[in-house]
Amino acid sequence: MASLNGFNANEVDPNVAFEPLPPGEYLAVVVASEMKPTKNGAGEYLQLELEVIDGPHKGRKVWDRLMLKHSNSQTVAIAKGTLSALCRAVGVLMPRDSSELHNLPVVVKVACKKRDDTGEVGNVVKGYGKKGASAAAPARAAAPVGPGSTPPWKRT
């Protein structure tokens, strides 16, 4: 058991379940970032927490994961291209630490995707752009796909 120190639900509005953000572009800022190990421990990704700062979805959050250390060089190249798009969009071209990307306005292109593990629909970040511009142009770099090869997003 855990003491709830006299908590009174009558004094607190209940949380409601959030649906994913509708696909589109949102003005947001990075509010947190952290390098995390992959499940198998063989790589690392930069997890970015972004908060929408304008419009009807103000205060909502989305997350992006950039696989910066991985055995697949193409996966790393895609992540670095995405990080480059974010850095260019916020005007910090040579960050020494991910915290330098925090609290700077950026346009985030968001899509919806069905999760493989749970079947639930969630948000994915598809690109970054400068405030006042579309995020469509500097979207994630497309990986080269040669004849007979499988695109990275269809690999299992």
Task: Domain 19-138: give its CATH code.
Answer: 2.40.50
Of 43-57, 84-98, 141-155, which range is least confident? Answer: 141-155
**CA dihedral over 104, 109, 112, 116, signed as positive or negative:** negative
Q: What value does the mean pLDDT of the chain take?
A: 87
Residue 101 region, left (φ>0) first, then alpha (ψ -120 to 50), else beta? alpha
Query: Which of 3-32 are b and which e, b meaning 16 or more Cβ less than 10 Å from the residue's Cβ?
Result: eeeeeeeeeeeeeeeeebbeeebbbbbbee
- 139 Cβ contact partners less than 8 Å away, ≥ 6 residues apart: 85, 109, 126, 127, 128
Residue 102 DSSP symbol = B
DSSP H or E segment with residue 87? helix 73-90
In this prediction, residues 15-40 reach a mean pLDDT of 93
What does pTM read for this prediction? 0.76
Please tell me the distance from the alpha carbon of residue 113 to that of residue 117, in angstroms, as a whole number. 12
SS3 95: coil
In this prediction, residues 91-110 reach a mean pLDDT of 96
Paired residues of 50 in beta bridges: 30, 62
The reported pLDDT for the residue numbered 140 is 41
| Residue pLDDT, tens place only, 9-23 | 999 988 877 789 999
The reported pLDDT for the residue numbered 89 is 96
- Rg (Cα) of the chain, in Å, rounded? 18
Provide the residue ranges of all domains of the chain, joining segments of one domain with +: 19-138
- Encoded amino acid at 117, one letter: D
Q: Is 74 exposed, middle or buried (0-12, 13-18, 19+ CB in 10 A)?
A: middle
The reported pLDDT for the residue numbered 43 is 93
